Amino acid sequence: SSCLQEAKPLPIDRNEWEGYFDESGHLAKSQDFISSIILERGLDPSVRSEAWKFLTGYYPWSSSRDERLAVEGMRRKNYESLAKMCDKIQPLLETEHRDFSRVCSFINSDLQRLYTRDAQGQTRVDKKQMEKILLLSYVCNTEAEYQQGFHEMLLLFHLLAEQEHEIYWLFQFFLQKTEHSCVMNIGVGKNLIMLKALIAFMDPTFAKHLEGKGTQVIQSLFPWFSFSFQRVFKSFYDVWRLWEVFLIGKPCRNFQVIVAYTLLQMVRDQILQENMAGDDILMLCGNLVDLDAEQLISEACSTYDRL
């Protein structure tokens, strides 16, 4: 039986997902039920783009099929108006808003580094479209700053959705829902404080070592939060898998802090045995890549259960 427990549960596929709706297209299952199943099993790629519209708030959970068609039209219209407005005020921003040209050049250099072809050599990414969405995203939310590297996050929405307005809104709603974790000057600092407190509570020995040897270590782990752990995984599917867990808010709010703690626990013993200091610790943490999302989520859930 232990071998059965080890087998990965199959994700929710198209058939099962469609079975959650009644004939008018209303969800026949509760949001809580669906969230619990997603935590446990995840979503199959074939349903992810539709399911994420519920998880991000793009669609209301209580909507019917017809209402969703209306929402779709409204989202498209709103996006087009925003894009028009942005075009109109761009010349003004270029002269009046001192950060605007700096952000434009960040976005530009980010996108230049982005590899846009797939394994078959087909272009899979429209850089012009990505530039437009990143700029619009910044113009509509200047206090969230532009985080260099955001283009990597946007790429995952670009690969998830087909239409430009869908990509824009899914990205916006994701950032809003996770702002406490990935919007630099709003939430990342809070996460680092919570992470420090969690280490002190769960692992005093390790906390003491970090205080003595690696005072700046926790502060320097901010990229984990500002890119929602995108860089620790081996595939986009793993990133989507973790992000959908953040979106459902289960098993708890601020689950991203427990995920960061779980990552640190992977290198904890080596850090203590080798009595490592700041830079070496950070290098070790930076080498945490190619991880498996299922495994990380399940270990982080076990950590949560011990709290």
pTM exceeds 0.85 for this model: yes
Q: Is 266 in contact with 288 (CB distance < 8 Å)?
A: yes
Predicted local distance difference test score (pLDDT) of residue 1: 34
- Confidence (pLDDT) at 2: 36
Residues paired with 12 in a beta bridge: 43
- CA 56, CA 174: separation in Å to the nearest integer? 6
Walk along the chain (307 residues) and give the pLDDT tens digit of each residue.
333 345 677 999 999 999 999 999 999 999 999 999 999 999 999 999 999 999 999 999 999 999 999 999 999 999 999 999 989 988 888 888 778 888 888 899 989 888 766 656 666 788 899 999 999 988 887 666 777 788 888 999 999 998 999 999 999 999 888 875 555 566 788 889 999 999 999 999 999 999 988 668 888 888 888 888 998 998 999 999 999 999 999 999 899 999 999 999 999 999 999 999 888 999 999 999 999 999 999 999 999 999 8
Identity of the amino acid at 101: S
What letters, b where the CB count within 10 A reaches 16 and e where it falls short, cover 161-198? beebbbbbbbbbbbbebbebbbbbeebbeebbebbbeb
Helix, strand, coil percent values for the chain (each to nearest 5)? 70, 5, 25
From residue 271, alpha-carbon distances to 156, 229, 262, 264, 289 in Å are 33, 21, 14, 10, 17
All structural domains of the chain = 2-56 (no CATH), 65-177 (no CATH), 181-306 (1.10.472.80)
